[in-house]
Structure 1
Amino acid sequence: MVEDNFTDSQLLDGGCLTQKVTTILLNQIFASKISGDSAKLALHLVGYEQDVSMKFVFGNKLICPDAWTAKEVTFDQKVCMKSVTQDGNIYNPSGTLSGGSKPSTLGILIKVQALKKVEGLLKDHQSKLEVIKKGWQDAIKESNATHISLASIDLLNKLLIGLS
């Protein structure tokens, strides 16, 4: 990977390389954007959206919940991106299909997706817990104030009875 065209040409023209190499220009890597909730861009699941090399590796692949969704997005003219189902089947817009067993790298992406979902649920539950704790503390304060008021009323009743 090289920073830009200038760096690439310096490496190639300078004769520094002794064997054939393939270079990836970091300034020419762009992640694809999709919409909808059923297919997720693999880059979003990894969580390094600003990292250019991650955009190169994961920016043009979709993770789909099922084969039907994968076929729809892969062969849609507007999307036309490689997709992987959660079962491990890979759909490629060039017309190839592979699968039958889950590749180990897919398992990691699925686990990351599940982790992000659980983290979101945890955050929701933590905020609900804070609301409940605040309500509980308010109820305790109100209960203490009620006990003080009742004690004051009892004391005043005893004083009134004693005066009679």
Structure 2
Amino acid sequence: VVAKLIKVNDRSSMTALEVTAGGKLFNVVVDTEDTGKQLLQKGDLRRRITIIPLNKIQSHVVPSKVQQATVRLVGKGNAELALSLVGYSEELKNAMEFVFGSTFVCKTTDVAKEVAFNREIRTPTVTLEGDIFQPSGLLTGGSRKGGGDLLRQLHDLAEAETKLQVHQKRFYEIEAKIKELQPLQKKFTDMKAQLELKMYDLSLFLKRAEQNEHHKLGEAVKKLEEEFEEMRSQIKEKEGCYKNCADTVSTLEKSIKDHDKNREGRLKDLEKNIKTIKARIQ
């Protein structure tokens, strides 16, 4: 339908555009009248619809000289062709001209009156609030509850769908990347498991090495203690020998001294005996 085929450039103009299009917003756009006939005959439609065949529709667009006259009358930007306020695919141009090409959207009521009733222009106008001014003098206006809500909702829906498409595209890209990385993930998992196993083996090895080192140190300490005890025993034995030698030396020294003293007494005795013997001889 037309409402889903357009993009409103300025949200403030949605009410005016909705009024401009009226029921044409729900017209169904098809490429040819044949497609339209097939849709009517075989489409299993639940309600009446109006079809716009692009190859047959005859549109009426406000002539460029009238548009220029409008700009001269009220100034640029104060009254714009409704067609210029919507975006659409180039292939839909005929349908969009048919729906939006014959009405001006005006910023104020005064501008709308001036454009619609001007003899040089005489073109239907719609205000931003949705009031309609016909060159014939017919005026339509008043309360419009939810005016422009349809286009706003469709506009929001279109934006949401666009964002959804972007996110879906990103999702598919991520999904493809995940599939691409899955073999690497398996390889990484296997390598991680191997690494953890090697780390465990290393910890056991270090533990055993530490225990072996402690054992070796214990044996070395034990051996040193035994050697120390043996050396201490030898020292005691040497000390005993030294003491015995020292006692022996002391005894010998005493004996020598005693021998020296006795020798003097013996010599005196011998001299005395010699003298006695000589006397006897004489």
More helix by share: 2
Tell me the TM-score normalized by structure 1: 0.45
By relative contact order (CA 8 Å, sep 6+), the higher-ranking structure is 2
